[in-house]
Structures are given as C-alpha cells and as structure tokens.
Amino acid sequence: MPARNGRTPNAWHEHSEGKRVPEGVWMRCDGCQATLFRKQVEQNLGVCPECNHHFVLSAHERIADLLDADTFEEWFAGLQPLDPLGFNDRRPYLERVKAEQERTGLEEAAVVGQGFIKGIRIVLGLTDSGFIMGSMGSVVGEKLTRGIEEATRQKLPLVIVSGSGGGARMHEGIFSLMQMAKVSTALGRFHASGGLYISVLTHPTMGGVAASFASLGDLILAEPKALIGFAGPRVIEQTVRVQLPNGFQTSEFLCEHGFIDRIVHRKDLRSTIAQLIDYATP
C-alpha cells in the first residue's frame, strides 16, 4: 500500500541522488499505514505522531519511560524454567526458551523489581509480549508472586504492566495454569494488608493474564486501543455463534462498560500513576 505521500515504503531507502538510506530509519504505522521516521516515534514514546497509535514496547523500554532514571533494581533475576512435560513441537521447549533469551535479551517474559516514580518507591512488574508472546509460565508466575510478597512485606505500592498475548504457556501445561491461582492468591493477601495495586493493561493483554492478575487491580488503567480479553474474537464467534460488537475487546469498549477505570495516553501514564499513588496512600 502506498504511503501518504504516494511513495512505496521501499522508496524511502534511496535519495534522488541514488544514495542509500540505512535500513531501519523508517517504519510503517500499524494504525494509519503512514511511513514514519523511526527516531521521531521513539522520541514520542513509541506513539505514532500521525494517528496516535501506540506501538508495543519492550519491558525495558517501559521501565525507562515510567521510572525515574537509573532507579530500577531488578529482583529474582536468574530464575530459569524447567521442562516438566518434555514438550516438543517444532523444537524442544528449552531450546525455544534459549533462542528467545538470545533474541530478546530477556531471561523470561516477566521483569520484576523496585524503582521510583516521581520520587515514590514502588514495586514494578512487567510482562513482555516479545518473549513467547508474554505467556505466563512457572517463572513468570514465581517472579510476580515474589514481587507481590515483597510489596506486602515492605508496604509498598504495586504496579504491574501487562503485555501478554499468549495467556498461559501451553509448553508447561497445568504448571502454567497454576500460576493464575498463585499470583491471584498473593494479590489477595496484599489487598488484605491494605496495599495499593495499580494494573496497567497494554496491547495485547489476553488469556490467563487477563483472567487473573491483570483484572485484579484496585485501579485498572489501559492504553488507548489495546486488545484486552480472554479468548480472541474469532474463537468466541465460532463458539457462541453470535456476531460480536465492533471493537468489543478494545480498552475503549471495556472502559465504557466498567471493566477498566481509565484510558491513559502513554505520555501521561507516568504522571497519572504517581498522582494516583499520592492520592491513595497516607
């Protein structure tokens, strides 16, 4: 499809003088299909300047955007998944994990630790859809549970940013499904202790993640036009044989129907979280 100025995307790789432009300088917006200067998008926190489309960010990019500079301290690094089922599809499970680690620079689909947001110390957990679609295996559940327990012990606000399109990780079977209950139970204890939990839903937040800790926040925020739900729309339509409303799994639809509390533009997310913590804690 031509870009807005009539050029095809490949045309950007050459000047009129015939000089090559390095690969990766330009990118295509998934929302409006405009061809964008990548550095401009990065400076805009991963948001399209033309249509406001929010691109998916990695866990480390989220940390840099949300927290005060150089304040993040990662916890529970080094936890590695096992292969209780001896799972093998196109490749053995542990071989797949190793390949994902090399590709993403992450050890797993969750990063947990503490940091400061506008001077307020918090416990922060994040899931990253870049690592096996952010699916929740035993290590993801264990990291989040330990983080919640530390927030309970230290009486700190808890923020979890969910970006998981994979739900429970099928490679670990019931061990993965158990993490939904484990993390939710830890949140129950945190809630009973009087802790504040802010859940931030980003594109995509699906499956067992959406059905457990992502939906249990005292305050639930979401980025614009994020896909949020349990099963995908095609699966639901095939199951219930009903035509679903347009956009019924978007953050806007869910906010309108009371599932989430507020939709927050990425540029305002840091200040909004800090304000909510300030309002809600003594």
- Residues 32, 107, single domain; the answer is no
Phi/psi region, residue 170 (left: phi>0; alpha: psi -120 to 50; beta: rest), is alpha
Query: What is the domain extent for residue 197?
Result: 56-280
Q: Exposed (0-12), middle (13-18) or buried (19+): which is 79, by Cβ within 10 Å?
A: middle
The whole-number pLDDT of residue 106 equals 96
The whole-number pLDDT of residue 23 equals 66
- Residues 19, 115, single domain; the answer is no
Which of the two residues, 20 and 246, has the higher pLDDT score?
246
Final residue before a domain boundary, out of 55, 77, 92: 55
Q: Tokens for 66? A: 């949300």
pLDDT at 232 over 90: no
Sorting pLDDT into bands at 50, 70 and 90, what band is 245?
Answer: confident
Which run of H or of E encompasses 102?
helix 93-104
- Residues 215, 225, single domain; the answer is yes
- Residues 44, 81, single domain; the answer is no
- Residues 108, 194, single domain; the answer is yes
pLDDT at 16 over 60: no
Residue with tokens 């079977």: 173
Q: Tokens for 83? A: 């292969």
List pLDDT tens digits, range 160-169. Answer: 999 998 889 9
- Residues 39, 94, single domain; the answer is no
- Residues 186, 134, single domain; the answer is yes
- Residues 220, 102, single domain; the answer is yes
| Lowest-pLDDT range of 1-15, 112-126, 145-159, 219-233 | 1-15
| Lowest-pLDDT range of 6-20, 103-117, 146-160, 219-233 | 6-20
Final residue before a domain boundary, out of 11, 32, 55: 55
- Residues 45, 73, single domain; the answer is no
Structural contact between residues 34 and 3, judged by C-beta atoms closer than 8 angstroms:
yes
Q: What single DSSP character describes residue 46?
A: T
Pairing of strands 110-117, 73-75: antiparallel
pLDDT at 18 over 80: no
Distance of CA 122 to the CA centre of its chain: 18
The whole-number pLDDT of residue 244 equals 83
Average pLDDT, rounded, for the chain: 90
- Residues 255, 195, single domain; the answer is yes
The whole-number pLDDT of residue 250 equals 94
Q: Residue 151 sits in a domain of what CATH number?
A: 3.90.226.10
- Residues 92, 1, single domain; the answer is no
pTM above 0.85, yes or no: yes
Indicate the number of domains in the chain.
2
- Residues 113, 198, single domain; the answer is yes
Final residue before a domain boundary, out of 18, 40, 55: 55
